[in-house]
Amino acid sequence: MTVYCLGSINCDRFYRLQRLPQPGETLAAAGYAQGLGGKGVNQSIAALRAGSEVVHIGAIGRGDDWIEAALTRHGIALDRVARVDGGTGHAIVAVDDAGENQIIIFSGANLRQSPALIADSLAQATPGDILLLQNETSHQVEAAQLARDKGMPVFYSAAPFALGPLQAILPFVTHLVLNAGEAAELVAATGTPLDEQPVQAVVVTRGAQGADWIAPGAAPVHVPSFPVVPVDTTGAGDCFAGSLAARLDQGAPVRDAMRFAAAAAAIQVTRPGTAEAMPSRSQVEALLAQQA
């Protein structure tokens, strides 16, 4: 089977700080790095490294050779990546010594997806394939509807959280992925408990408190986190989502897939960066074996 992802592609610019700035405050960075990122491509690379076949659908600025080279180096084929005017998306990421972050994103090409390319890509999918989506691109609803028409599961990471886009896409979502803060916002905004949301399952990541799989009419599945010392938590949720989708795509039971995703995210936060930090399947399995 295959994991399809309509997702953002960004140039991430990382600034290492002793602490994060307060409003109106100027701080000098102790370090700077640049790398490939974006919630979508992070999820695609996580799924790819977990062992699934991945088709990434996205958009970048014309002539952005650095991004094309980075995608290729990470194993992302370029045949489903549109080249558009307006420049590749980018993110400014401030990371403190505790691994916490503040992020500003500029969407750029991510909001100029090609409907024809999306339709042509998903036309090749089968009912058992999975579609990953996040709230960082245009044409999310159209892609989700195309996928559901083919009988594909649709995993939607509701980040950055915005109620309007979530309500628009929710009728076509089978699996809703949220962090603890986003889950609280959803319940407060809708008045609907997580186990009554109109999806097959809600997946809530809770950082050091682990993660939950919440399905209507069933007992929640909780997996604990793996104790690590974080270096950079940027992209941990993307790592979890991509790894989870990959293992479910491969036929793993829910608890096993959740535990694999938790282990992958634990490794990822011990490394700087986003796409570069996604672990291989063998590395995740080694950690799981240590914890058995």
pTM of the entire structure?
0.94
Owning domain of residue 198: 2-8+39-82+113-291
**Structural domain contains residue 26:** no
The span from the first CA to the last CA of the chain, in angstroms, equals 28
**Structural domain contains residue 27:** no
**Structural domain contains residue 34:** no
Q: Which candidate, 252, 259, 274, 178, places its Cα nearest to that of 226?
A: 259
**Structural domain contains residue 108:** no
**Structural domain contains residue 89:** no
Which amino acid, residue 283?
Q
> pLDDT averaged over consecutive 10-residue blocks of the chain (292 residues)?
96 92 93 94 98 98 94 97 94 87 92 98 96 98 98 96 96 97 96 97 96 97 95 93 98 98 97 94 97 76
**Structural domain contains residue 277:** yes
SS (H, E, C) the chain: CEEEEECCCEEEEEEECCCCCCCCCCCCCCEEEEEEECHHHHHHHHHHHCCCEEEEEEEEECCCHHHHHHHHHCCCCCCCEEEECCCCEEEEEEECCCCCEEEEEECHHHHCCCHHHHHHHHCCCCCCCEEEEECCCCCHHHHHHHHHHCCCCEEEECCCCCHHHHHHHHHHCCEEEEEHHHHHHHHHHHCCCHHHCCCCEEEEECHHHCEEEECCCCCCEEECCCCCCCCCCCCHHHHHHHHHHHHHHCCCCHHHHHHHHHHHHHHHCCCCCCHHHCCCHHHHHHHHHHHC
CATH code, domain with 158 = 3.40.1190.20
**Structural domain contains residue 63:** yes
What is the number of domains present in the chain? Answer: 1
What pLDDT score does 86 carry? 84
**Structural domain contains residue 212:** yes
115-122 and 140-149 are packed helices; what angle lies between their axes, rounded to 10 degrees?
20
Buried b (16+ CB within 10 A) or exposed e, 255-264: eebbbbbbbb
